[in-house]
Amino acid sequence: MATVWMFQADPKRYDLLGRVSDRFSDDWSMNQHRSKVAVGDRIYFRISGKQAGLYVVGRVVGPVFEANPPNEFGRWKVDVDPTCS
């Protein structure tokens, strides 16, 4: 059975809706619960701030991996496709 995750984007730091309109796949930080995430899990992408809400549904499309070097969001990443539901 697939697990459901919620990822959050701060619009001041990341343009989620702009990226989705470009039909992209990307990696997202997975610093917690990384041993529980699996390919095919559903993701709800939440935007924070004044227009906060759930805007995008996607899926995990790759296993968790360690980024080297890490970025400002952490070391552990997971490949996602926020353009599929």
pTM of the model: 0.81
Q: Is the peptide bond before 69 cis (omega within 30 degrees of 0)?
A: yes
pLDDT at 84: 61
Distance CA 82, CA 85 (A): 8
pLDDT at 71: 85
**In this structure, CATH architecture of domain 4-81:** Roll (3.10)
Distance CA 70, CA 41 (A): 24
pLDDT at 1: 65
Does residue 85 carry a pLDDT above 60? no
Does residue 39 carry a pLDDT above 90? yes
**Which tens digit of pLDDT belongs to each residue from 1-34?**
678 999 999 999 888 888 777 766 678 888 899 9
pLDDT at 46: 93
